[in-house]
Each structure stands twice: as C-alpha cells, then as structure tokens.
Amino acid sequence: MTQTELTTTAAASAAEAPPPVRARRRFSRENVTRLLFVAPAALYLVLFFGYPVVKNITMSLQDYTTKTFFTGEAPWVGFANYQAVLSSNLFWPSMTNTALFTIGSIAGQFIIGLALACFFKRRFPLSNFLRSMLLLPWLLPLIVSSATWRSILEQDSGILNQFLGTFGIEPVPWLTSPAVALIAVVLVNIWVGIPFNVTILYGGLQDIPDELYEAGALDGATGWKAFRHITLPNLKPVISVVLVLGVVYTIKVLDIILGLTNGGPANATQTLSIRSYQESFINFEFGVGAAFSNILILISLVFAVIYLRANRRAVDE
C-alpha cells in the first residue's frame, strides 16, 4: 500500500513538474500571456478610472474656472478649495442631509425589498409577472421618474394630496416645506431603490435550501421563527452586499434631488453631490466642486472597502 502510494505520488509529481530548463522558458511565456490578459483591463482602468480620479484630485487643488478652459491656466491654490468647502455654511447641513438621505433611503429600500423578496418566494399565479413588473422603477430614466414624482407631490393639485384629501388629510407641503422636503425626496429614492434590493435578496433567498426549512419545521420553527433563525443567518452575506452597495449608490444620488427640489426649499435638500454639481456647473467653480466630490469619493471609498472585505468573507464562507 505504501509502495503504491509512493509510486502514484511520484508519478503525479513527475507529470506535474516539467523538465527544469523548459520550465523556465514556459514560465516566462506564461508570464507574458498573463500580462497580455491583464493589459486591456489595466489600460481601461487607468484611462477611465485612474485618469479621472487623479484629474479630480489635482483639480481640487487648483483655481479651476471657466477661464481655464480657454487659456489652460489653472493656478495651484493648495488646500484653499477644501478650506472654502469646510468653511461654507452649507457644508455641515449638506453632510447631515447626505447622512439622513442615505440612512433613510437604505433602511426603507432594504426593509420593503426584503419583505417583497420573501413574499415572492412563494409561488402563486402571476408571481413571476408581478416580480418583473417590480423592476419598472429601475427601467425608467431617473429624470422621467423625478419629473413624474414632482407632479405627483405637487402641493395644490398633486395626485397624492388629492388622494390624502379624500381621507380628510390636509394638503402636505411635500416639496415646499423645508421640514418635509427631505422626507419626500427619501420616499422617492426608496421607490427607485426597491427593485435593486428585491432582485438581489430574492436571488439570495433562492439559494437557501428548502431542506433547512423542512428540518426547521419539524423542530417547530415556522413563520417568524423560521425567518429569524434560518432565513436571516443564511442571507447574511447577501444582505451585507446589498447594504454596502446600496450606500455607495445612494450617497452620490444627484438626478432625483435635482429633479425634485434642486436642493431647495431653503437648502433643505442640499447634499454633498448637489453642492458639488452646483459649484461646478452653476457657479463654474470647478476647483471647489472637485473638492466636494473628493470628500464624497472618500466616504464612498470607506464603504467600498467594507464591501470588498464583506465580499471576501462571503466567498470564504
């Protein structure tokens, strides 16, 4: 037995390891091939991700205005743009709004998304059709949905207030009161984000083996208990991915807020991305705009790292 084992191992290693001289040559050839496979992706990354990021960082250290486009001159100003950002009265309110917007949107999207995903796990007539209909908000161009929501939320003649009025509820100043506007914007963003959450979570649910539920049912774990002790633990890797990706997508949302309130009323819906957009493309202070967006990128980066780690853990598991 030992003999045979030994021979097989030897045979295997002989088959695996080619003669030493040829090995070196093949190794270098392999290396070249590997490089060639990496090259297009690396080139793409450098061109379309590396360059913009580096450009954005240098821009944030320059006095970059309309003049720059004509003369090519953008004097270095050090951290003056960041100073302008941090000392602006809108910086902290927009930070808070970004946080509230992100947390509110993610919480809403996730809870409703998970509930719908669990609901669609059961098969019933038209369930597939209904589930695909859920994707609609995802398919609409954001500029269209925000224009539509803007008329739905209109204070005097919007359909939502008309509907609420039939229950005797006073018209809600959805987009015109600084106290309510952020909530309204969050609600619309939740609506936009639900399809993403449902799709990913539904996929995660499909991967949980039915046997677990059957075994759990024998032990008396049904309904809520089954959800807590079987669904949630098994869904954990997917949940962390959904949440972190959700944060990265939500924190930079621009078009919905621009379309609904443009940062108003009275700056109640100013977020970092709105500030960045307005500084760059309304005030033409591209340096300050870049500084705002770099802060945003930095925050996203933190979550991206969390995502990568969570992802690696998920793969390990």
CA distance 271 to 251: 9
Output the smallest distance, CB 107 to another protein, in A: 26
CA distance 120 to 128: 8
Nearer to another protein, 4 or 157 (CB): 157
Output the smallest distance, CB 256 to another protein, in A: 14
Nearer to another protein, 137 or 173 (CB): 173
DSSP of 17-79, one letter per residue? S--HHHHHHHHHHHHHHHHHHHHHHHHHHIIIIIHHHHHHHHHTTB---HHHHHH----B-TT
For residue 90, give the DSSP letter: T
Output the smallest distance, CB 79 to another protein, in A: 18
Output the smallest distance, CB 76 to another protein, in A: 19
Nearer to another protein, 175 or 190 (CB): 175
Nearer to another protein, 9 or 283 (CB): 283
For the chain, report the end-to-end CA distance as a whole number of angstroms. Answer: 36
Output the smallest distance, CB 281 to another protein, in A: 7
**Where along the sequence are the contacts to another protein (CB under 8 A)?**
29, 32-33, 36, 39-40, 43, 47, 66-72, 88-90, 150, 154-157, 173, 175-178, 261-268, 281-284
Nearer to another protein, 39 or 144 (CB): 39
- Confirm if 144 and 256 have CB atoms less than 8 A apart: no
267 token code pair: 């700056």
